Amino acid sequence: MQIGIVGAPNQGKSTFFNAATLAGAETADYPFTTVKSNQGVGHVRVECVCKEFGVQCNPRHGWCADGKRFVPVTLLDVAGLVPDAHTGRGLGNQFLNDLSQAAALIHVVDASGKTNESGEKVEGYDPSNAIRFLEREVDLWYAGILEKNWDKFSRRVKMEKGDLSEQISRQFAGLGVNQLQVIEAMEAYDFPEDPTAWSKEQLIEFATRLREIAKRMLIVANKIDVEGAWENYKRMVKEFPQYIIIPASSEIELALRRASKSGLLEYTPGDPEFTVSSTSSLNEKQRRGIELMQEFLKKYKTTGVQEALDKAVFDLLGYIAVFPGGVGRLMDSEGRVLPDVFLLPPNSTVLDFAYTIHSDFGNNFITAIDVRTKMKLGKDHKLRNRDVIELVSGK
């Protein structure tokens, strides 16, 4: 699964990306620091089933810290988006195409109001404007794709009485949009029966609806550690009830993860606290840094970075985490206990799970067993979050 990190320049996208991946992308206090997209591996946090089953797991990917399992997801940090980027302004719309495969977008906004939508340093900017502008850019990007061949295929659909939703989904094929999503978007409005009669406004309206369905967005109210950011965040929550908005400090999360990596402290991403390994060896700067991080967590509970990733995958997209296992045997053939966790889209069935693991499992599926209850499950059974499933397949 891929998640895109988007926003205007200088809002803290790369800092968020680094905090989530420890990848070391360039960050700086001016716009357009990121020119080419950065791709890295972040993790979502899942309540592991190891504790419940009384075993110590050995993840093949990611890790497990005291029952908190960290499951990899791909993150994409792109260049800052400025107003009219869809027409080529700023660094243009090239990187919008980089976001084609992203299942969801995390929109990083400088909540302190000290950076405007062009990435310039200002005072008293209303970060709600950044939300509106970004929505518009992404919508117009979608509208542009739609408009490109609209005249041609709308006429053909009219003449041949073809299926409009099929034609539209073809235009968006490279963007991971499926026909069902197109149909859902079409149902939202009373569009003219005759596609050649759609106005430009209707095309944009439709593109907006399609984007809302197919590229869901979560907002990170970043730089929450800066004075005035909390008040702006509260206002954004009121103004945009349709969005999940997470207050965050990417900078503090990055400092915590780096300090944890270097052994200065023990910190599990997403936790409301950390323990300092040894205070005696700290220099004055480190001591002050640790105090700042402690004060921050005391006030805000978490830095928001882990929470944003988790909410994007599990709340916004409704994904579930499913563990392959066996009744009476949670080990793979190499002796690894609960080595894998799979992230599956909502409404995934047992058969979808089988195909996700390997097409052979899907093709030769016989039955499945819920490892917790030992009940047999048919291929159409819908899976739930944290299910542990044994697959039985033929040769």
Ligand X SMILES: Nc1nc2c(ncn2[C@@H]2O[C@H](COP(=O)(O)OP(=O)(O)OP(=O)(O)O)[C@@H](O)[C@H]2O)c(=O)[nH]1
Binding site for Mg ion (CB under 5 A): 13-14, 33-34
Binding partner of 113, given ligand X, Mg ion, none, CB within 5-8 angstroms per partner class: none
Any residues with CB less than 8 A from the CB of 42 and at least 6 apart, and which?
3, 17, 20, 21, 72, 73, 74, 75, 309
**What whole-number distance in Å separates Cα of residue 104 and Cα of residue 171?**
19
Residue closer to ligand X, measured from CB, 119 or 269: 119
31 binds ligand X (CB under 6 A): yes
348 binds ligand X (CB under 6 A): no
Cβ 39 to ligand X shortest distance, Å: 14
Binding partner of 12, given ligand X, Mg ion, none, CB within 5-8 angstroms per partner class: ligand X
Show the site string, 229-258: x = touches ligand X by CB under 6 A, - = not.
--------------------xxx-------
Any residues with CB less than 8 A from the CB of 275 and at least 6 apart, and which?
265, 266, 267
> Which residue is at the shortest CB distance from ligand X?
80
**What whole-number distance in Å separates Cα of residue 207 and Cα of residue 175?**
13
The span of 171-179, 222-230, 286-294, 380-388 binding ligand X (CB under 6 A) equals: 222-230
* Residues in region 257-316 near ligand X by CB under 6 A: none
Among 45, 209, 223, 257, interactor with ligand X by CB under 6 A: 223
**What whole-number distance in Å separates Cα of residue 309 and Cα of residue 359?**
29
Binding partner of 28, given Mg ion, ligand X, none, CB within 5-8 angstroms per partner class: ligand X
Cβ 38 to Mg ion shortest distance, Å: 8
**What whole-number distance in Å separates Cα of residue 126 and Cα of residue 117?**
10
Among 29, 190, 334, 380, interactor with ligand X by CB under 6 A: 29
Nearest to 204 by CA among 139, 145, 258: 139
Show the site string, 115-144: x = touches ligand X by CB under 6 A, - = not.
----x-------------------------
Q: Which residue has the tokens 């991946």?
A: 21
Beta bridge partners of 76: 4, 39
Residue closer to ligand X, measured from CB, 171 or 222: 222
Residue closer to Mg ion, measured from CB, 23 or 65: 23
DSSP code at position 109: E
Are 104 and 308 in contact, with CB atoms under 8 Å apart?
no
9 binds ligand X (CB under 6 A): yes
37 binds ligand X (CB under 6 A): no
Which alpha helices (H) appear in 99-249, and where do they start and end? 127-148, 150-160, 164-171, 179-187, 200-214, 229-239
**Gyration radius (Cα) of the chain, Å:** 23
Among 1, 3, 4, 10, interactor with ligand X by CB under 6 A: 10
15 binds ligand X (CB under 6 A): yes
11 binds ligand X (CB under 6 A): yes
Residue closer to ligand X, measured from CB, 10 or 154: 10
Cβ 292 to ligand X shortest distance, Å: 11
Binding partner of 325, given ligand X, Mg ion, none, CB within 5-8 angstroms per partner class: none
**Helix 250-261 vs helix 13-21: angle between axes, to the nearest 10 degrees?**
30
Among 80, 195, 325, 339, interactor with ligand X by CB under 6 A: 80
Any residues with CB less than 8 A from the CB of 205 and at least 6 apart, and which?
189
55 binds ligand X (CB under 6 A): no
CA dihedral 6, 12, 13, 15 (to 10 degrees): -170
Amino acid letter for position 6: V
Cβ 34 to Mg ion shortest distance, Å: 3
Any residues with CB less than 8 A from the CB of 203 and at least 6 apart, and which?
143, 146, 147, 150
Q: What angle do CA 242, 245, 251 make, to 5 degrees?
A: 160
Residue closer to ligand X, measured from CB, 46 or 138: 138
Residue closer to ligand X, measured from CB, 4 or 80: 80
Amino acid letter for position 270: G
Are 27 and 11 in contact, with CB atoms under 8 Å apart?
no
Q: Give the interface with ligand X as residue ranges (CB under 6 A).
A: 7, 9-15, 27-29, 31-34, 79-80, 119, 222-223, 225-226, 249-251
